[in-house]
Chain A
Amino acid sequence: MVASLRRAVDRFNWLGLACIIAVLVVWQLLVSAHIINYSSLPGPIQIWSGFRQLAGSGGQLWSALWHTVRCVLEAWLIGVAIGGIAGLLIALNPTVAGWGGATVDLLRSLPVVALIPVAILIWGTGSKAEVILGAYAALWPMLINTAGGVRGVPPRLRDVARTLGLSRWGTLRKIVLPATGGAMLVGARLALATALVICVVAEMLGLQSGVGNQLVLEQGAGQAARTWAYIVLVGVLGLIANVGLNKAVHVMFPGVSAISDRSAQ
């Protein structure tokens, strides 16, 4: 117990933390000494007090945060499921690739942001439009990475599957999917980051709830510290999403982690 705590302490990036703290201190000093003097750029202390106002009773922060997190997670799950299955089909089935390949290339090069106004026209300004937009955006990184991963499975492994007499389903389940696992996890991580960005942007561009919406409202009200509090919140959300997913992968797929340990050796 003590040993594992010590390992965690040793592994923690103290230097990185010190650097962040130093940046915050310098920032605050520059603002307090009026060397940086913009009404729209408060110091970290003012941002913190803006955050406390929002988080306190009567503040909108927690309900907005909950709305955004829920929409992002829903969008991510839907996008990863559809993107993963579509990616597998395109990589494994030449007919699907022949019919669908050009459509995929066309659709994925269309910026999702440009579709936000249309989505609002069709599905209104509620959660539905947000989840659909987020899922649509999350789908592409998952699809591209999954298809690429399947194509990258060493041909030798297909020989192995055949000489050992594995069925088509067995080959898919025991060889192709695990060999593609790393690429799919990369796709899932990119998909989560993409879903977060698109959901927040959609909230900023017209949806009536969520962190992005609050951010724009505070900006319109001239509340710089509160606006910044939301900006920092979105940043922390992205950080948690990334780190949390990494940790989850290590716990849930020890085999995949073992391979990445190998490449680290």
Chain B
Amino acid sequence: MTADTASEPYATARRTDAGAVIFELEDVAVTLQSERAERQILEGVTFRVREGEVVGVVGPSGTGKTTLLRVLSGLIRQSAGTVLLDRKPVLAPTQEAVTVFQDYSSALLPWRTVERNVALPLEGRTTKSERRQRVLRALEIVGLADRVDEYPWRLSGGMQQRVQIARALVLEPRVLLMDEPFGALDAITKGSLHDQLLDVQAKTGATIVFITHDVEEAVYLSDRVMVIHGAPGQIVHEVHTELPRPRDQIATRDLPRYNAVRHELAQVLRDGGIA
């Protein structure tokens, strides 16, 4: 991969002083109204995400992972507490933080080609030639520049998910929010997409917050893993993985530190908190 040439516009835009706080959540609670009763989904969620960080959120199903991500993206509003993106309250979705959904086949538009799917968010905002350039650059980053004229449903699941990632990247967001991005894919595809995502992150410097129920995935990808647990869901634990980058499917997974983190997380998930 020619990381230098392909990533240049992103790299210059993103390589700010690493470490500035981009997301700041303070005592966030979410209550959703269902048919008869209201149900509290999240309670007392407080954390920060720094620029350029890869943060994984793991937890069993039904603990409010997706709700947390929807709050970060502005798709729903919290019932209490504050959610700041770059020190401004999140009131609605912005193109600073774009979501990639798990169900790529229903998130892509089947009547549009790959190129026109990725171009969708830029239409009416840029000139035609600039749009085409940015679309090709985003597709290059995910390695799909040669599939522009295909319809997404002709591609494999992994490729479709990369199209969705390219469609988010084309907006040059500061944060990618990913809702179980690889949950619907087989193990082999998953592994190669993990490396591609880390490659995308290295090229763009984007902050990534993703949720998963797969502990191994969380450890392999993240700088920091948070565990969400309970009903209503709370952040019960947090680990800095402290694993070297670039990561390697074989070498990284052989590191004692990898196993130690995995072990710690598995224990927390089993016991529902630190004993």
Residues of A at the B interface (CB closer than 8 Å) are 154, 156-157, 159-160, 162-166, 170, 174-175, 178-179, 181, 255-256, 258-259, 262
Contact = CB atoms under 8 A, between A and B. Distances in A.
Given A165-B94, A165-B95, A157 B120 contact: no
Interface stretch (B42-50, B98-106, B132-140, B231-239): B98-106
24 contacts: A156-B107, A159-B101, A160-B101, A160-B107, A162-B74, A162-B75, A163-B75, A163-B93, A163-B99, A164-B120, A164-B121, A164-B171, A165-B95, A170-B123, A170-B124, A174-B120, A174-B123, A178-B109, A179-B109, A255-B112, A258-B111, A259-B110, A259-B111, A262-B153
B73 interface: yes
Contacts, number: 60
Contacts of B120: 164, 166, 174
B93 A165 contact: yes
A175 B124 contact: no
B167 interface: yes
The interface residues of chain B, by DSSP majority, are classed as loop
Interface string B67-109: 0000001110000000000000000111100110101001101
B75 A159 contact: yes
B258 interface: no
Given A154-B106, A160-B101, A165 B111 contact: no
A11 B99 CA distance: 45
B76 to A, nearest CB: 10
Contacts of B111: 178-179, 181, 255-256, 258-259
A157 B93 contact: no
Contact of A156 (B74, B93, B101, B167): B101
Q: Closest 10 interchain pairs by CB?
A: A255-B111, A164-B121, A163-B99, A156-B106, A154-B106, A162-B93, A163-B93, A165-B95, A178-B111, A160-B107
A164 B167 contact: yes
B151 interface: yes
Contacts of A166: 120-121
Contact of B151 (A160, A181, A262): A262
A157 B167 contact: no
Contacts of B121: 164-166
Given A166-B121, A170-B123, A256-B111, 10 more contacts: A157-B109, A162-B75, A162-B93, A164-B95, A164-B121, A165-B95, A165-B171, A170-B124, A255-B111, A258-B151
Contacts of A164: 95, 98, 120-121, 167-168, 171
